[in-house]
């Protein structure tokens, strides 16, 4: 089973982005998770294209870009150009999710679709055969450092059942409140990619934490 750690840049030290990228490069993290928030789809604002471009210059891992923005279709090309290797948009934010999927595919990068914890997992059924990854949010999108929502395990199981029925083989990613305590249970439930911000960057040795999370 594919197991990947995608540390969330949101919890990194923005005054030392180059050093943080070098730490990620030297770690066992295969991806780097990048959270873009627009102050409209979510109340918070994070950062945009110039920061992603700067990170792309220094980070040699795949940029796993999670866009929490309205009108994702308008910005697909720019995120691809800025260096996204995977672009994950919110189902709730898209008027026509299939159109967004097609636009991302046309850029030749990987496609992800995501939902907040209050959106039925079944909403994704029409799309799971057309995406490379489904991201199930395990907190409400918008802020780092929130508490993992416990009923997420049932949602992961439900997603896996739908994938089995539809013969889909996309990756499953989890984002929000992931730490060294719940990582192994998440992998046991079939999660492939763990995003973690606080639980990695706010530890004395983030590289060791990444390794421990991967091996949990």
Just list the catalytic residues. Answer: 35, 175
Among 175, 178, 209, 213, binds Zn ion (CB under 5 A): 175
Site for Zn ion in 43-82 (CB under 5 A): 66
**Beta carbons within 10 angstroms of residue 74's beta carbon:** 11
Q: Indicate whether 197 belongs to the interface with ligand DX5 (CB under 6 A).
A: yes
**Beta carbons within 10 angstroms of residue 214's beta carbon:** 17
Q: In sequence order, what are the residues at sequence separation of 6 or more whose Cβ sits closer than 8 angstroms to the Cβ of residue 141?
A: 37, 41, 42, 68, 90, 114, 116, 176
Minimum CB–partner distance for residue 163 and Zn ion (Å): 21
- Three-state DSSP class for 213? helix
Q: Indicate whether 182 belongs to the interface with ligand DX5 (CB under 6 A).
A: no
Minimum CB–partner distance for residue 55 and ligand DX5 (Å): 14
Angle at 70 (CA atoms; ends 79, 123), nearest 5 degrees: 100
Minimum CB–partner distance for residue 89 and ligand DX5 (Å): 12
Nearer to Zn ion, 80 or 86 (CB): 86
Number of residues this chain uses to bind ligand DX5 (CB under 6 A): 22
Among 72, 97, 177, 206, binds ligand DX5 (CB under 6 A): 177
Nearer to Zn ion, 65 or 170 (CB): 65
Q: Indicate whether 144 belongs to the interface with ligand DX5 (CB under 6 A).
A: yes
Cα 48 to Cα 216: distance, rounded to the nearest angstrom: 33
Work out the burial of residue 88: count CB atoms within 10 Å of its CB; fewer than 13 is exposed, 13-18 middle, 19 or more buried.
Answer: buried
Buried b (16+ CB within 10 A) or exposed e, 153-172: bebbeebbebbeeeebebbb
Nearer to Zn ion, 11 or 27 (CB): 11
Identify which of 138, 62, 65, 129 has the alpha carbon closest to the alpha carbon of residue 97. 129
Nearer to ligand DX5, 66 or 155 (CB): 66
Q: Indicate whether 65 belongs to the interface with ligand DX5 (CB under 6 A).
A: no
Nearer to ligand DX5, 33 or 56 (CB): 33
Judged by beta carbon distances under 5 to 8 A according to partner kind, the member of ligand DX5, Zn ion, none in contact with residue 55 is none
Write phi, then psi, for 114 (nearest 5 degrees).
-140, 160
Write out the residues near ligand DX5 by the rule CB under 6 A. 8, 10-11, 33, 35, 66, 139, 141-146, 175-178, 195-199
Write out the residues near Zn ion by the rule CB under 5 A. 35, 66, 175
């Amino acid at each position: 089973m594919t197991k990947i750690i995608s540390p969330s840049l949101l919890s990194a030290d923005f005054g030392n982005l180059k050093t943080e990228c070098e730490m990620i490069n030297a770690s066992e993290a295969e991806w780097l998770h990048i959270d873009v928030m627009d102050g409209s789809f979510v109340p918070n604002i994070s950062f945009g294209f110039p920061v992603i471009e700067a990170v792309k210059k220094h980070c040699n891992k795949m940029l796993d870009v999670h866009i929490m923005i309205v009108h994702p279709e308008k910005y697909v090309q720019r995120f691809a150009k800025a260096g996204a290797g995977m672009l994950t948009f919110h189902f709730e934010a898209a008027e026509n999710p299939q159109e967004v999927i097609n636009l991302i595919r046309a850029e030749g990068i990987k496609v992800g679709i995501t939902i907040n914890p209050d959106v039925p997992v079944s909403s994704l059924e029409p799309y799971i055969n057309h995406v490379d990854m489904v991201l199930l949010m395990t907190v409400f999108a918008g802020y780092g450092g929130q508490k993992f929502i416990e009923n997420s395990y049932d949602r992961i199981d439900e997603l896996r059942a739908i994938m089995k029925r539809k013969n889909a083989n996309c990756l499953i990613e989890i984002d929000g409140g992931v730490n060294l305590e719940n990582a192994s249970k998440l992998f046991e439930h079939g999660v492939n990619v763990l995003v973690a911000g606080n639980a990695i960057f706010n530890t004395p040795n983030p590289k060791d934490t990444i390794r421990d999370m991967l091996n949990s």
